[in-house]
Homo-oligomer: A and B are copies of this chain.
Amino acid sequence: MTQITELVTPVCVIDRYRFINNVERVKKHIASTGATFRPHVKTLKSVEAAAYYAPPGTPITVSTLAEAAHFAGAGYTDILYAVTLTPNKLPAVYPLHENGVMLTVMIDSQAALDSLASSLEPLEKPLPVAIEVDVDGARAGLTPDDPELILLAKAINASAGLYFRGLVTHGGASYGCFDDASRQAMAQQENDALLAAKDTLANEGVLCDLVSLGSTPTALADISRDGISDIRAGVFTTFDCVMANIGICEPNDIALKVATRVIKVDTQKKRVLIDAGWMALSRDTGTQGQWRDCGYGLVCDIDGNLLDGWTVSATSQEHGTITHASGDVDPSRLFAFGDTLQILPVHACATAAQFSHYEVCEDNVVCERWHRINGW
């Protein structure tokens, strides 16, 4: 039995109890809507983790074709690749498509379609293509009222080797909603805008098999999902400080942590150095400017108890600096050289990306190791 305190630090730890609680909460909510759950596996990129929330054979979403190939190898057969496809990536698409995986690719412009169509090799069966819809101006996609939407859907169906499978959107602006009412409104906006796009196409006789939306905040909203086929969410398995700040979870729900050791207690400068810098925590400072600035992470003791007011306020490659919000607390009251601490990540997707595997723990005892696929 390996204890967390025996691990070489820094190390990425997943608390299995919290992980399962988070997964069950979101699965249960989405099941109650009647829509299909199509989780995004981009946070942990681990088939061992996905077994808990999307067993092989169930639909998933991926952020890279490396993930698609990895999960297809583990038995996943309905995979949405949620980044606009460029033709240079087709060589990674063909083997999955030919092996019977329904790999749905995504575009949002005639230029993308022209490029794809002109590069496509002859296929035995057509490749499913979705159009990305923009519901909040946050990133990519066509707005529901853009005349290009109808033209593009029809043009996909008219292209040899391709067929139009449906619509995908991501309500990314929901990360800026800090209360239930605005989150609910944003979820409704995402939902209604996607349905409007679907209706526009239906009026032109173009039907959607896939009508997919979601982000962790909007996926948890209590609204009707009539007409929606799939709901997506990604960071819900672990949550993080950003999700805690916007009120989707409590810091105590965060299931992914970086275990680290104290390498200096500086009573003069009133700070503590740890052996987790940005290489372990990532450079993500996504709570900067929010009501609670978590720096590079909130600080917990070895048992996961939040040490109030202490954050990782600065990092270099392999050093983190922990300070207290008040700037005037003697750190030697709480910290000693060699202590193991747990840092709650600002952004779990970015922190997890710094590791090749996770040590999965129950009550601080390592019970499993989950592996991660990186790269493109």
| A binding-site residues for B, Cβ under 8 Å | 6-11, 42, 63-64, 83-84, 86-89, 91-92, 108-109, 111-112, 114-115, 137, 139-140, 172, 261, 263-265, 269, 273, 275, 278-280, 282-285, 316-319, 321, 336-338, 347, 349-350, 353-356, 374-376
Contact = CB atoms under 8 A, between A and B. Distances in A.
Given A42-B317, A112-B263, A376-B10, A354 B356 contact: no
B338 A9 contact: no
B269 A83 contact: no
A332 B88 CA distance: 21
* Most chain B beta carbons < 10 A, residue from A261, A275, A278, A337: A337
Contacts of A283: 282-285, 347, 350
Contacts of A109: 264-265, 337
Nearest to A374: B356
A83 B284 contact: no
Contacts of A11: 376
Given A140-B319, A278-B350, 6 more contacts: A9-B86, A9-B88, A63-B318, A84-B273, A86-B338, A112-B263
15 contacts: A8-B376, A9-B88, A64-B318, A83-B263, A84-B264, A84-B275, A86-B261, A86-B275, A88-B261, A109-B264, A111-B337, A111-B338, A112-B263, A115-B338, A356-B375
Contacts of A355: 375
Contacts of A375: 355-356
* Most chain B beta carbons < 10 A, residue from A64, A108, A316: A316
A282 B376 CA distance: 15
A6 B316 CA distance: 35
Contact of A139 (B87, B91, B316): B316
A285 to B, nearest CB: 7
A88 B356 CA distance: 20
Contacts of A261: 86, 88
A143 to B, nearest CB: 9
Contacts of A285: 283, 285
A275 B83 contact: yes
A282 B350 CA distance: 9
Contacts of A172: 316
Contacts of A10: 376
Contacts of A319: 83, 139-140
A316 B7 CA distance: 32
Q: Which 3 A-B pairs have the closest CB atoms?
A: A111-B337, A283-B283, A84-B263
A316 B83 CA distance: 11
* Most chain B beta carbons < 10 A, residue from A8, A63, A92, A172: A8
B317 A349 contact: yes
A368 to B, nearest CB: 18
